[in-house]
Amino acid sequence: MQETDLVDVATLIPDAQLDIRYAGTGNFTGEVVDGYLAPKCYLLRPVAEGLARVADDLRVQGLSLQIFDCYRPARAVRRFVAWARDPDEQRSKPGYYPNLDKSQLLDGYIAETSGHSRGATIDLSLTRCVDGTCEPLDMGTGFDFFDTLANTADPRITAEQKYNRQRLLTAMARHGFHNYPMEWWHYTLQPEPAPGTAYDVPVQ
């Protein structure tokens, strides 16, 4: 890690709510994912600094960032693809892809290469903080819910959920982060600082 320009986001945004799902079993694989040795968030320095500016803006509004995933080792991406190609592993279907056949997840949801491995992509949401207690805002679906309901502009969500997604979208876009329209939580800094580099050092 010391040989890269990846920095620990917690050093720049100490009030971020780290909920790093792949460092535990609460994710669609049901297991700790290869390459995640600690629940930490690393991003390339320009990306982390941009995210810190987002956090500064939100803090004034009484909001903070809830972070699900940041830099993702390439070995973790390979694990996701192997999982998606295993038709016998269906434990997480009710909670993560109830309306899709597992084979469809490789079409837009699980990619063989990821901006996360380039240190420029982050999965996140918003929380409202009052007297030191932070509660997640209602975004309409959970993180990694593989369904069109998770599309950022899906018309079926409530007015409150639409407003909350728009707040996140506006805050991120102000500092150069572009949303992936199929997933309300997924943002990439544009232009990417290192578009040709995929890292595989473990998160620890």
Rounded to two decimals, what is the model's pTM? 0.96
Domain 6-189 carries which CATH code? 3.30.1380.10
- Residue 31 falls in the annotated catalytic set: no
For residues 71-90, give the mean pLDDT: 97
Query: What pLDDT, on a 0 to 100 scale, did the predictor assign at position 101?
Result: 95
> H or E element: which one contains 129?
strand 121-130
Helices (H), the chain: 45-60, 74-84, 93-96, 159-173
HEC secondary structure over 156-203: CCCHHHHHHHHHHHHHHHCCCEEECCCCCCEEEECCCCCCCCCCCCCE
Structure tokens at 174: 């102000």
The pLDDT tens digits for 145-185 are: 999 999 999 999 999 999 999 999 999 999 999 999 999 99
pLDDT bin (cut points 50, 70, 90) of residue 131 is confident
Q: Where are the domains of the chain?
A: 6-189
Task: Say if CB 117 and CB 198 are below 8 A apart.
Answer: yes
The pLDDT tens digits for 23-71 are: 999 999 999 999 999 999 999 999 999 999 999 999 999 999 999 999 9
Cα separation, 158 vs 113, whole angstroms: 33
Which is the catalytic residue, given 31, 89, 135, 183?
183
Q: Which amino acid is at 24?
A: G
Q: Which amino acid is at 47?
A: V
For residues 73-81, give the mean pLDDT: 97
The pLDDT tens digits for 102-127 are: 999 999 899 999 999 999 999 999 99
Query: What pLDDT, on a 0 to 100 scale, did the predictor assign at position 50?
Result: 98
Query: What pLDDT, on a 0 to 100 scale, did the predictor assign at position 130?
Result: 87
Instruction: Answer whether residue 89 shows pLDDT above 90.
Output: yes
Q: Which burial class, exposed, middle or buried, applies to 76 when counting CB atoms under 10 A from its CB (0-12, 13-18, 19+)?
A: buried
